[in-house]
C-alpha cells in the first residue's frame, strides 16, 4: 500500500515513467468526455493513467451485463450509473483527481450550454446522429478542440483505425466505415484501439504536439 503524504509525492511516484515535465502539464489539463461506454470509459482510464487530473464526464446510462465485453466496468458496477462507476475507478487510480459528473442526456437543445466552458471535448457516443451533432459544433466553436470517433466495429484490421484532422480543431479517430450493426458487432480490442487513438490525440493536444 502506498503511503504518500501529499499530491506532489503521489505524482512523483506514480508518474515517474512520464517524460520530464509532462506530468505537470497533464495534471493541469481538464478534459470533457461525452459518453462513458466502450470509448468513453476506456479513454477516461487511459488519460487518468497518463496523468490528466481533471475531468467533466457526462452520461445518463447505467452499467448493464452487455457492457462488460468492452467497457471499463466490472460485475460490481452492474446497475450503477456509469458516471459514478467511472468516477470511482478514476479516483481509485488517482485520489487527487477532480471528477465532475453530469447525469444528463446531451441534446441539440442543451449541448451548447453544457459545453460552454470546455476546451477539450472527447466525443464518445454510440449513435451516428449524436456523433455528427458534436462534430458539427467544431465549425461553430473555434476556441474548442473536438476529438471524435467514427468506425471501430467488427474485426477489421487494426491499422485501418487512424486519427485524422479536419480543419483547425476537429480530430476523428476510427476507420470511418465500420458501423455497429448485427453483421459487425462490437469487440473489445477494436473499440479500445479507437479509444486509445482518442486518448493519444488528447494527450498530444494538451502537450501542443498535435
Q: Is the pLDDT of residue 197 over 90?
A: yes
- Enter the C-alpha cell of residue 172: 476523428
Contact by Cβ (8 Å): 170, 149: no
Residue at 34 is within a domain: yes
Q: What confidence tier does 178 reach under pLDDT thresholds 50, 70, 90?
A: confident
So what's the pLDDT on residue 181? Answer: 64
pLDDT value of position 183: 67
* The three cell numbers locating residue 49: 493513467
Give dist(CA 171, CA 163) in Å, integer. Answer: 7
Residue in the block written with cell 466505415? 177
How far from the centroid of its chain's Cα atoms is residue 80's Cα? 19
- Which pLDDT score is estimated for 5? 74
The DSSP secondary-structure symbol of 188 reads: H
Residues 38-80: tens digit of each pLDDT: 999 999 999 999 999 999 999 999 999 999 999 999 999 999 9
Domain with residue 95: its CATH number is 3.40.50.720
Q: Classify each residue of 110-121 as buried b or exposed e, where b means 16 or more C-beta atoms within 10 Å of its C-beta.
A: ebeebbeebebb
Does some domain include residue 177?
A: yes
Within 10 angstroms of residue 184's Cβ, the number of other Cβ atoms is 16
Residue 201 has pLDDT above 80, yes or no: yes
Q: Which three cell numbers stand for residue 46?
A: 487511459
- The answer to whether position 102 is within a domain reads yes
Number of domains in the chain: 1
Domain range for 64: 20-206
CA distance 179 to 154: 8
Amino acid at each position: 500500500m502506498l503511503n504518500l503524504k501529499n499530491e506532489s509525492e503521489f505524482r512523483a511516484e506514480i508518474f515517474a515513467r512520464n517524460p520530464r515535465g509532462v506530468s505537470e502539464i497533464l495534471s493541469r489539463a481538464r478534459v470533457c468526455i461525452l459518453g462513458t461506454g466502450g470509448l468513453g470509459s476506456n479513454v477516461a482510464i487511459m488519460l487518468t493513467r497518463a496523468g490528466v487530473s481533471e475531468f467533466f464526464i457526462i452520461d445518463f446510462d447505467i452499467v448493464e451485463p452487455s457492457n462488460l465485453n468492452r467497457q471499463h466496468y466490472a460485475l460490481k458496477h452492474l446497475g450503477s450509473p456509469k458516471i459514478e462507476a467511472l468516477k470511482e475507478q478514476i479516483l481509485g487510480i488517482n485520489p487527487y483527481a477532480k471528477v465532475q459528473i453530469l447525469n444528463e442526456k446531451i441534446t441539440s437543445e442543451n449541448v451548447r450550454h453544457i459545453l460552454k466552458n470546455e476546451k477539450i471535448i472527447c466525443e464518445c457516443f454510440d449513435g451516428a446522429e449524436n456523433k455528427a451533432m458534436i462534430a458539427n459544433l467544431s465549425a461553430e466553436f473555434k476556441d474548442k478542440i473536438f476529438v471524435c470517433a467514427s468506425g471501430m466495429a467488427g474485426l477489421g484490421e487494426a491499422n485501418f483505425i487512424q486519427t485524422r484532422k479536419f480543419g483547425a480543431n476537429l480530430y476523428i479517430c476510427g476507420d470511418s466505415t465500420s458501423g455497429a450493426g448485427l453483421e459487425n458487432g462490437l469487440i473489445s480490442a477494436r473499440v479500445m484501439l479507437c479509444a486509445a487513438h482518442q486518448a493519444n490525440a488528447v494527450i498530444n493536444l494538451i502537450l501542443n504536439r498535435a
